[in-house]
Amino acid sequence: MKNFKSHFRFDKDQQSGIFFLLLFIVILQVVYYAVSNGLFSSSENSLTHSKELQATIDSLKNQSIEKNTFKLYPFNPNYISDYKGYTLGMSIEEIDKLHAYRATNKYVNSVADFKRVTNVSDSLLNSMSPYFKFPDWKTSKFNKKLVVANKSTKSINYIVKDINKATAIDLQVVNGIGEKLSARIVKFRDRLGGFVVDEQLQDVYGLEPEVVKRLAKQFKVLNKPNVVPININEASAYEIAKLVYIKYNVAKAIVSYREANGRFTSFNDLVNIEGFTVNKIDRIKLYLSID
């Protein structure tokens, strides 16, 4: 029994050690409680972090809005596609009404006409109408893009415009020509420096013969451009290839042929060049010279 009691007897050093151990344990418990309950967190720092986080979120949100916002340019309302109508805020029913009206070969020629045909709300119309651009055409009482010269015989005369001055929107008055084809015609014309003859409309990629005929009734070459011919006896392959009708490999073949056989004396010599577009030689030689 004496031996058993001896285990519970401590000297002063041991008693001090036990006391400080218990004190250390209590301090740890207090610190743990304080940290877990957020007693050491700073409300000011938390508020600062919240403001910074909110500013970042607002910045990202504004960037997203800017990305998803499209810039509106003047356009012909007669050719509103499903996608464009949707982005403008039109309903499917309103878009279908416009397309059904256009299917009867009629055209919207004013803001009032657009309102009458589509029945869009006044607020939507007010936001869209400043961007409407109607082509300069005269309309008959049947709302068609033509002038009735003789009502008794119903003969039709078109107002002919200069194809070299027409804008992409002007060209869209022709049935079968939309935004893509009209832009392609203008781009081809600009690369040529202007159409010299009406037949060059046949060379525009994707333009069907029937559409070319309708286009030629309303647009013709009224003012020819000042074309500076390319001298194929002097020009480099790079200079010759600037002409839309001649690819660079054909231009190199022309220069090689000239170096091997001497100067060209006739445009007919070009038919000997491999890859040369023979069926368009009449139009190509409008831009060439053999001086």
Please provide the average confidence, as pLDDT, over all residues in the chain: 80
Whether residue 153 sits in one domain with residue 208:
yes
What is the domain extent for residue 210? 147-220
At residue 231 the predicted structure's pLDDT band, cuts being 50, 70 and 90, is very high
Q: In the prediction, which pLDDT does 182 show?
A: 93
For the stretch 24-55, pLDDT in tens is 888 888 877 777 776 655 545 544 556 666 67
Q: In the prediction, which pLDDT does 83 show?
A: 79
* Region label for 226, one of left (φ > 0), alpha (ψ between -120 and 50) or beta (otherwise): beta
Cα–Cα dist 262/274, whole Å = 17
Domain termination site, one of 202, 220, 238: 220
84 domain-assigned: yes
Lowest-confidence segment of 22-26, 130-134, 157-161, 177-181 by average pLDDT: 157-161
Domain termination site, one of 187, 220, 253: 220
Number of neighbouring beta carbons within 10 Å of residue 79:
17
Whether residue 189 sits in one domain with residue 151:
yes
Lowest-confidence segment of 102-116, 134-148, 267-281 by average pLDDT: 134-148
**In the predicted model, is pLDDT for residue 142 greater than 80?**
no
At residue 181 the predicted structure's pLDDT band, cuts being 50, 70 and 90, is very high
Angle at 113 between CA 111 and CA 118, to 5 degrees: 95
**In the predicted model, is pLDDT for residue 140 greater than 50?**
no
Q: What is the mean pLDDT of residues 133-162?
A: 56
Tell me the H-state helices in the chain: 2-6, 12-36, 43-68, 82-88, 92-103, 111-118, 122-128, 168-171, 179-192, 209-218, 237-240, 248-261, 281-284
Whether residue 254 sits in one domain with residue 215:
no
For the stretch 233-265, pLDDT in tens is 999 999 999 888 888 999 999 999 999 989 998
136 domain-assigned: no
Whether residue 206 sits in one domain with residue 159:
yes
Instruction: Indicate which CATH number applies to the domain containing 279.
Output: 1.10.150.280
Cα–Cα dist 68/188, whole Å = 32
Q: In the prediction, which pLDDT does 50 show?
A: 60
Whether residue 216 sits in one domain with residue 169:
yes
For the stretch 93-107, pLDDT in tens is 898 898 888 888 888
What is the token pair recorded at 275? Answer: 């890859």
Whether residue 126 sits in one domain with residue 90:
yes
What is the token pair recorded at 66? Answer: 């800017």
**In the predicted model, is pLDDT for residue 164 greater than 90?**
yes
Q: In the prediction, which pLDDT does 153 show?
A: 42
Whether residue 244 sits in one domain with residue 200:
no
**In the predicted model, is pLDDT for residue 72 greater than 70?**
no
pTM (2 d.p.): 0.46
Q: In the prediction, which pLDDT does 108 show?
A: 87
Cα–Cα dist 258/248, whole Å = 15
Q: What is the mean pLDDT of residues 169-186?
A: 92
Cα–Cα dist 113/122, whole Å = 13
274 domain-assigned: yes
26 domain-assigned: no
How far CA 68 is from CA of 7, 63, 84, 87, 118, in Å, comes to 81, 9, 14, 10, 26
Cα–Cα dist 218/231, whole Å = 34
141 domain-assigned: no
54 domain-assigned: no
Burial (CB < 10 A; 0-12, 13-18, 19+), residue 50, is exposed
Domain termination site, one of 131, 165, 193: 131
8 domain-assigned: no
Cα–Cα dist 115/135, whole Å = 18
Tell me the backbone φ, ψ of residue 156, rounded to 5 degrees: -115, 130
Total domains in the fold of the chain: 3
Q: In the prediction, which pLDDT does 47 show?
A: 47
Which amino acid is residue 63, in one-letter code? Q
For the stretch 118-133, pLDDT in tens is 998 988 888 888 888 8
**In the predicted model, is pLDDT for residue 147 greater than 50?**
no
**In the predicted model, is pLDDT for residue 63 greater than 70?**
no
At residue 9 the predicted structure's pLDDT band, cuts being 50, 70 and 90, is low
Whether residue 244 sits in one domain with residue 196:
no
> Which H or E element spans position 142?
none
**In the predicted model, is pLDDT for residue 64 greater than 70?**
no
10 domain-assigned: no
Q: What percent of the chain has pLDDT over 70?
A: 76
Whether residue 282 sits in one domain with residue 236:
yes
Instruction: Indicate which CATH number applies to the domain containing 156.
Output: 1.10.150.320
